[in-house]
Chains A and B, each alone.
Chain A
């Protein structure tokens, strides 16, 4: 299949006060591609993620979605463009029900503006499809395990037809079993021609499923390479800052 670029970012910069968190990073991600965004703690992965997800606006640089220049100034902008973010920590609100979390910010309403509770119950079916059987849309999410929570967030991205899914350390806090299930779901995105940026500091987590790797160090891109053209060793050395681009 020919590669179709979905998102292109050019020369992205982000400063936090005097800290140059993202320093001139450019990259492209194609449709249906799994891009492993790796780097040590503080390498700039999270800052780049925050720019792409609309949490922070870049200080410099441009982003193009499907060839068109876009401004992602808020998480709402990102979601409107089909960019869905699955955060490690803040994926769900503990004190709220499953349905209220699933549709948060995009609640379906009827003609009179009241919540369409019947439609909101559909989230149960979506989650069942991805192997997460939960009985009631009123189930309190604080009762879910870490993996189930990630599952809900991923199911949400699928349901709302994301084009690009940003996964922030999606398996770091999970048990081995749960991590495998989440990785299977990531591959399902690929099958559906949805692009994924998989952010992690642990190369092993993403090596098997990624098509391509983007390695950051000190806010700079030090490697942007297809899996076929590299090896675990080379990438590990890049993450550890032993290779300069």
Chain B
């Protein structure tokens, strides 16, 4: 009898381990998106006659993946919590502008970066505060702040670009945020670190449990004693910080700030999250999926361009991919139930 029981327990345990692995690493969605990315690599290898795999092309691709990916993982966590942020492009530009402006005024770029990140947190937090305290849909709040923050940028710059040639004066800073470590672009390292941190938080910390709960069913989360407002505001803040980081990264890379910087990044990041299996209704999604979604988007863009098909075709194809993947996600979601 006892033996039988313990046998049973072992079976259950094995099943749990299997389930765990299946849930974390091998979730169906992620496998599909990863497969899609691999397929794109192979297709574009042939259509670009191998150019796609030149070290230079790969570097460009992975820098683009890093910059979009950092925003995508932040926006994914926010969408899981049940909210939305359209203003990340403007926050990102604000971070870049601050870094450039403070550097122009003689501040050490590392210090300028810290200030830019803090401002990103504050701007993101403002979005969150207005959303939860006044009970306004975050779509509307961040539509307004997307326009407003961008307006503030134009007020400050009057549309004039600002140079940011830290590569000459502070090569260490350039290397730290936009350089290379051996053959690996540093932004990619940042993406990997940030992704691991968010994965740990979402899967293995109390806060992560609260994020999924708040987005899955806010009323239940509240009834279980979770501070739903605080949880959401923290997600907004984290996204604001990541956006500002990306802004500084980009202005360091391109060496000058333009008031248009970061426009359109919000929708691309949301697209990456959605392709990665995040449901816009909240409660469901993974940052790993968002990274893979980012990879798909960037591969499509550069693959099509390097294949000589042109940038216009890219938008058409990306639109189609988003629709197909979302339908696929719905099918998976139905099966799961």
Q: Judging by beta carbons under 8 Å apart, are A135 and B15 in contact?
A: yes
Q: Which residue of B lies closest to A140 (CB)?
A: B336
- Whether, in the assembled complex, B108 has its beta carbon less than 8 Å from a beta carbon of chain A, the answer is no
A53-B283 contact in complex given A96-B213, A115-B204, C-beta closer than 8 Å: no
Q: Judging by beta carbons under 8 Å apart, are B23 and A105 in contact?
A: no
Contacts of B12 in A (CB 8 A): 124, 135-136
- Whether, in the assembled complex, B209 has its beta carbon less than 8 Å from a beta carbon of chain A, the answer is yes
Q: Which residue of B lies closest to A103 (CB)?
A: B209
A106-B213 contact in complex given A90-B220, A95-B283, C-beta closer than 8 Å: no
- Whether, in the assembled complex, B1 has its beta carbon less than 8 Å from a beta carbon of chain A, the answer is no
As a 0/1 sequence over residues 106 to 138 of chain A, the CB contacts with chain B under 8 angstroms (1 = contact) are 110100011101000100100000000001111
- Whether, in the assembled complex, A85 has its beta carbon less than 8 Å from a beta carbon of chain B, the answer is yes
Q: Judging by beta carbons under 8 Å apart, are B212 and A138 in contact?
A: no
Contacts of B206 in A (CB 8 A): 107, 109, 113, 115
Q: Judging by beta carbons under 8 Å apart, are A93 and B217 in contact?
A: yes
As a 0/1 sequence over residues 141 to 169 of chain B, the CB contacts with chain A under 8 angstroms (1 = contact) are 00000000000000000000000000000
Contacts of A87 in B (CB 8 A): 220, 223
Q: Which of B196-225 contact A (CB under 8 A)?
A: 200, 204-206, 209-210, 212-213, 216-217, 219-225
* Closest CB pairs A-B (n = 9): A76-B225, A93-B216, A105-B224, A95-B283, A105-B225, A95-B216, A90-B220, A104-B224, A107-B206
- In the complex, 7 of the A-B residue pairs with CB atoms within 8 angstroms, ordered by the A residue number, are A90-B223, A91-B220, A93-B216, A96-B283, A104-B220, A105-B224, A115-B204
Give the distance in Å from the alpha carbon of A214 to the alpha carbon of B217 in the complex.
31
Interface majority SS (helix, strand, loop, mixed), chain A: loop
Interface centre among B16, B210, B213, B224 (most CB of A within 10 A): B224
As a 0/1 sequence over residues 31 to 54 of chain B, the CB contacts with chain A under 8 angstroms (1 = contact) are 000000000000000000000000
Q: Which of A138-162 contact B (CB under 8 A)?
A: 138, 140, 142-143
Contacts of A75 in B (CB 8 A): 222-225
A47 to chain B, nearest CB (A): 15
A55-B204 contact in complex given A104-B209, A136-B15, C-beta closer than 8 Å: no
Interface size range of chain A in the complex: 35 or more
Q: How many A-B residue pairs have CB under 8 A?
A: 96
- Whether, in the assembled complex, A63 has its beta carbon less than 8 Å from a beta carbon of chain B, the answer is no
**Set B20, B23, B213: member contacting A93, Cβ < 8 A:** B213
A7 to chain B, nearest CB (A): 18
A18 to chain B, nearest CB (A): 21
- Whether, in the assembled complex, A79 has its beta carbon less than 8 Å from a beta carbon of chain B, the answer is yes
B223 to chain A, nearest CB (A): 5
B131 to chain A, nearest CB (A): 20
A124 to chain B, nearest CB (A): 8
Give the distance in Å from the alpha carbon of A136 to the alpha carbon of B19 in the complex.
8
- Whether, in the assembled complex, A92 has its beta carbon less than 8 Å from a beta carbon of chain B, the answer is yes
As a 0/1 sequence over residues 4 to 20 of chain B, the CB contacts with chain A under 8 angstroms (1 = contact) are 00000000100110011
A114-B212 contact in complex given A75-B224, A85-B223, A104-B224, C-beta closer than 8 Å: no
Give the distance in Å from the alpha carbon of A143 to the alpha carbon of B336 in the complex.
9
- Whether, in the assembled complex, A45 has its beta carbon less than 8 Å from a beta carbon of chain B, the answer is no
Give the distance in Å from the alpha carbon of A54 to the alpha carbon of B20 in the complex.
35
